[in-house]
Amino acid sequence: MDSGMRKITWAAQYMPVLRAIERRFTADRPLEGQRIAMALHVEAKTANLVRTLAAGGAEVEITGCNPLSTQDDVALALDAMDGIRCYARHACSVEEYYAAIDRVLDARPTVTIDDGMDLIHRLHTARRELLSGVIGGCEETTTGIHRLRAMAAEGKLEFPVIAVNDTPMKRSFDNVHGTGESALASLMITTNVLIAGKRLVVAGYGYCGRGLARKAHGMGARVCVTEVDPRRALEAHMDGFDVLPMDEAARIGDLFVTTTGNAHVIGERQFGLLKDGAILSNAGHFNVEIDLERLHKIADAVEQRDGIETFVLGDRRVHVLAEGRLVNLATPKGMGHPIEVMDLSFALQALSAEYIAKHGRELTGGVYEVPAAIDETVACEKLASLGIAIDSLTDEQARYMSAWDVGT
């Protein structure tokens, strides 16, 4: 077995929910006749989603959604499978990245699965001739959904898209635990620095930020949070973290992780305030949270190490991980989210793709929630795989919960 396939089978053993879906898909073939276009991080967990969709009868074409997150051996293994074509290559140029997106779209998809909305953006701009053949799509991440909602608000989204990110079974596990654990793991393995006792600045106290803050706190870091939303700032304060503006955090932070989905959260003013040896990283979707263009312009020199760029600013050195791209995926040893977390997220993707294939033609263009039944199916399947039983409502309790005239 080659190395890509070994990685894929390693991940498969910890993905019981997706395996159960694959068994049903193999028997029922609910995706027969569908052509699914995907732009996701091409690594072993994603490969198991691709295999599940192919087992359901779909032809699948996939490329990456980030030039640094592709694992070439997994891409090769996928490309060798029946009914699957993979165009992703690690560290490809921007031109090659978009050429691969076009090759995926050349297959005239009926269903799209995105992580960051690149396929849908391309379909609505340079490849509009393909729009009429698309039944609908699924979107994996917060940033992609922000962009889709902006498109929908302007009446420009021409097919239905399921916001897979926005469902409890995704956000509460993938964003919180997945990003929390994997961003810290990647930061540690890339730099080899100690977390305990360090002042770690988390920018953005959303789902990703709060997972990261809690886990870093658990490892002994002195965590502080920056926010722009007063409710989330208050939540961070009451969860026990220091909340302060980035200008103040920049002066005291040893390690920084941005998780805002916003641009230039650490910019020129803060570069002037950072301590010597500060380590900057980003866990938000795009590489825009740290203003690297500016940092390159003001640096006296830049030194390269594996996964680390060091910017010399006078007598200070500031280090940036993974070129400011997703730190949990784009460092040389970044593995992305833990397997069990992606088992849940990709189970949601597989069932949402099945839903779109079946019901997409009944829906108009816009962003749709994951149907509650899908969310619940994934939770039940996961609990069953863990051997965890829960209570169910008695008839009396069900009546009580739906009554309005019973009180004290």
What does the binding site for ligand NAI look like in residue numbers (CB under 6 A)?
A: 141-143, 174-175, 179, 203-209, 226-229, 232, 259-262, 265, 283-285, 326, 328, 337
Q: Within 253-371, where are the H helices?
A: 268-271, 292-298, 327-330, 339-359
- 199 burial (CB, 10 Å; 0-12 / 13-18 / 19+) is middle
**Nearest-5° angle of CA 373, CA 60, CA 350?**
15
Cβ of residue 315: shortest distance to ligand NAI, in angstroms?
28
Give the 3-state DSSP-derived string for 208-261, with helices as H, strands as E and coil as C. HHHHHHHHHHHCCCEEEEECCCHHHHHHHHHCCCEECCHHHHHHHCCEEEECCC
Instruction: Report the alpha-carbon distance of residue 104 to residue 369 in Å, rounded.
Output: 26
Give whichever of 67 and 209 is closer to ligand NAI, judged by the CB atom. 209
Distances (CA, A) of 287 to 22, 217, 262, 296: 34, 25, 10, 14
The residue among 135 and 249 lying less far from ligand NAI, judged by its C-beta, is 249
Supply the minimum distance, in Å, between the C-beta of residue 72 and ligand NAI: 20
- Least distance to ligand NAI, CB of residue 294, Å: 15
Report the C-alpha gap between 246 and 233 in whole angstroms. 13
In the bound state with ligand NAI, the residue whose beta carbon lies nearer, of 34 and 179, is: 179
Check residue 380 and report its DSSP letter.
H
- In the numeric block, the tokens 């165009």 are attached to 87
Question: Toward ligand NAI, which CB reaches closer, 48 or 226?
Answer: 226
Tell the smallest beta-carbon distance from residue 286 to ligand NAI (Å).
7
- Whichever of 184 and 265 has its CB closer to ligand NAI, that residue is 265
Distance CA 47, CA 77 (A): 9
Whose CB is nearest to ligand NAI?
Answer: 206
Residues in the chain, how many? 408
CB of 80 to ligand NAI, least distance (A): 27
Which H/E stretch holds residue 367? strand 366-368
Residue placing its CB nearer to ligand NAI in the complex, 142 or 377: 142
Q: How far is CA 77 from CA 51, 71, 312, in A?
A: 11, 10, 41
Distance CA(73)–CA(71), nearest Å, equals 6
Q: Which is nearer to ligand NAI, 191 or 328 (CB)?
A: 328
Q: How far is the CB of 325 from ligand NAI (least distance, A)?
A: 10
For ligand NAI, the closer CB: 20 or 330: 330
Q: How far is CA 240 from the centre of its chain?
A: 27
Instruction: Give me the least distance between CB of 30 and ligand NAI, in Å please.
Output: 27
Give the residue with the Cβ less far from ligand NAI, 283 or 351: 283
Smallest gap from Cβ 384 to ligand NAI, in A, equals 26
Q: Judged by CB, which is closer to ligand NAI: 123, or 208? A: 208
CB of 203 to ligand NAI, least distance (A): 5
- Smallest distance from ligand NAI to CB 178, Å: 6
In the sheet with 35-39, reading across from the earlier edge strand, the strands are: 84-86, 59-63, 35-39, 111-114, 136-139, 160-163, 366-368
| Strand 308-313 relative to strand 301-305, pairing | antiparallel
Q: Give burial (CB, 10 Å; 0-12/13-18/19+) of 145.
A: buried
